[in-house]
Amino acid sequence: MGQVWSIDAVMKNASTTIYGNIVALDESPKKKGLLYAGTDDGLVQVSENDGQTWTKNASFPGIPANTRVNMLTASLHDENTVFAVFNNHRSGDFKPYNLKSTDKGKTWTSISSNLPERGSVYCIKQDFVDPNLLFVGTEFGAYFSNDGGKNWTKLAGLPTIAVYDLDIQQRENDLVAATFGRGFWVLDNYSPLRTLTKENLDKKAHVFPVKDALLYIPADPLGLEGTGFQGANLWAAKNPEFGATFTLYIKEDYPTLKGTRQEKEKALESEKKAVSYPTFDELRKEQQEGDAQLVWIIRNDKGEEVRRLFSSPSKGISRMNWNLRYEHTSAVNPSGDKNKNNGFLVPSGNYTVEISLVKDGSVSSLVEKTPFVVKGLNNQTLLAKDPVELNTFRKEVADLTRRVSGTATQMGESKELLYQIEHVLLTFPGTDLKLLAETRALRLIYDECSIILWGDGLKTAKEFEALPGINGRLGIVEYSLYDNTAGVTNAQRSNKSIAEEEYTMLRSKFDDYLKRLTALEKILDGLQIPYVKGRESWKED
Over the stretch 22-50, which tens digit does the pLDDT of each residue have? Answer: 999 999 999 999 999 999 999 999 999 99
Phi and psi, residue 136, nearest 5°: -130, 150
* Arithmetic mean of pLDDT, 313-339: 87
- Cβ atoms of 296 and 309 within 8 Å: the answer is yes
* Mean pLDDT, the chain, whole residue set: 90
Measured from the Cβ of residue 264, the count of other Cβ atoms closer than 10 Å reads 12
Calculate what percentage of the chain has a pLDDT beyond 70: 94
Residue 321: is its pLDDT beyond 50?
yes
What's the Cα-to-Cα distance from 303 to each of 179, 308, 341, rounded to whole Å?
46, 14, 22
Identify whether the C-beta of residue 449 lies closer than 8 Å to the C-beta of residue 506: yes
pLDDT bin (cut points 50, 70, 90) of residue 115 is very high
Q: Which residue has the higher pLDDT, 534 or 439?
A: 439
Given this model, what pLDDT does residue 540 score? 47
* Whole-structure pTM value: 0.84
End-to-end Cα spacing for the chain: 90
pLDDT tens, residue by residue, 241-292: 899 999 999 999 998 899 999 999 999 999 999 999 999 999 999 999 988 9
To the nearest 10 degrees (0 to 180), the angle between helices 470-482 and 490-524 is: 140
CATH number belonging to domain 247-254+292-376: 2.60.40
- The whole-number pLDDT of residue 1 equals 63
Rg (Cα) of the chain, in Å, rounded? Answer: 34
User: Which helix or strand (DSSP H or E) is residue 435 part of?
Assistant: none
Q: How confident is the model over 326-344, as a mean pLDDT?
A: 82
User: Residue 11: what pLDDT?
Assistant: 60
* Model pLDDT, residue 205: 95
CA-based max dimension of the chain? 113
Confirm if 413 and 534 have CB atoms less than 8 A apart: yes
**Residue 310: pLDDT above 90?**
yes
pLDDT tens, residue by residue, 48-78: 999 999 999 999 999 999 999 999 999 999 9
> CA 56 to CA 36: how far, in whole Å?
10
Report DSSP letters for 38-87, one per residue.
EETTS-EEEESSTTSS-EEE---TT--TT-EEEEEEE-SS-TT-EEEEEE
Q: What is the pLDDT of residues 377-395, one digit of tens each?
A: 876 666 778 889 999 999 9
Assign domain 9-195 to its CATH architecture: 7 Propeller (2.130)
Q: Are 157 and 104 in contact (CB under 8 A)?
A: no
Find the helix packing angle between 470-482 and 436-454, rounded to 10°: 30
DSSP state for residue 291 in the 8-state scheme: P
pLDDT (mean) for 1-6: 71
d(CA 119, CA 257): 40
pLDDT one-digit tens code per residue, 158-173: 989 999 999 999 999 9
6-15, 118-127, 252-261, 393-402: least confidently modelled range: 6-15
Q: Where do the structural domains in the chain lie, given as residue ranges?
A: 9-195, 247-254+292-376, 387-524
| CA dist., res. 73 & res. 324, Å (int) | 39
Please compute the mean of the pLDDT values over residues 101-117 and round it to a whole number.
Answer: 96
CB 358 within 8 A of CB 292: yes
Rounded to an integer, the average pLDDT of 408-422 is 93
DSSP state of 293: E
Burial label, 530 (beta-carbon count in 10 A; 0-12, 13-18, 19+): exposed
In the sheet that 82-87 helps form, which strands lie side by side, from edge to edge?
68-74, 82-87, 97-101, 109-110
Contact 121, 83 (CB under 8 A): no
What pLDDT score does 319 carry? 93
SS3 content of the chain, % helix, strand, coil (to 5): 30, 25, 45
**Residue-wise pLDDT tens digits, 465-488:** 999 999 999 999 999 999 888 889
Whole-number Å distance between alpha carbons of 163 and 505: 67
> Is the pLDDT at 91 greater than 70, yes or no?
yes
Find out whether 470 and 506 touch, Cβ atoms under 8 Å: yes
pLDDT-derived band at 435, boundaries 50, 70, 90: very high
Half-sphere exposure of 208 (CA within 13 A, CB side): 22
Reply yes or no on domain 387-524 having CATH 1.20.58.
yes
Weakest mean pLDDT among 161-175, 217-231, 392-406: 217-231
CB contact set of 87 (below 8 Å; sequence gap of 6+): 67, 68, 70, 97, 120, 121, 122
Instruction: Identify the pLDDT of residue 223.
Output: 65
String of DSSP letters for 127-151: -SS-TT-EEEEETTEEEEESSTTSS
Q: How far apart are the C-alpha atoms of 293 and 356, rounded to whole Å?
A: 8
- Does residue 226 surpass a pLDDT of 70? no
With bands split at pLDDT 50, 70 and 90, how would you rate the model's confidence at 110? very high
Q: Enumerate residues 6+ apart whose C-beta is below 8 A from 323.
A: 241, 242, 243, 342
Who wins on pLDDT, 425 or 223? 425
Distance, in Å, from the CA atom of 290 to the CA atom of 61, rounded to the nearest integer, reads: 57
**Range in 137-151, 253-267, 518-532 with the lowest mean pLDDT:** 518-532
pLDDT greater than 80 at residue 18:
no
Tell me the three state secondary structure of residue 404.
helix
Residue 541 has pLDDT above 50, yes or no: no
**pLDDT in the model for residue 240:** 86
With both helix axes pointing from N to C terminus, report the angle between 436-454 and 490-524 in degrees, rounded to the nearest 10: 170
Label residue 525 by pLDDT band (50, 70, 90).
confident
Specify whether the CB–CB gap between 367 and 357 falls below 8 A.
Answer: no
Q: Tens digit of pLDDT for each residue in 443-458?
A: 999 999 999 999 999 9
Confidence class for position 537, pLDDT limits 50, 70, 90: low
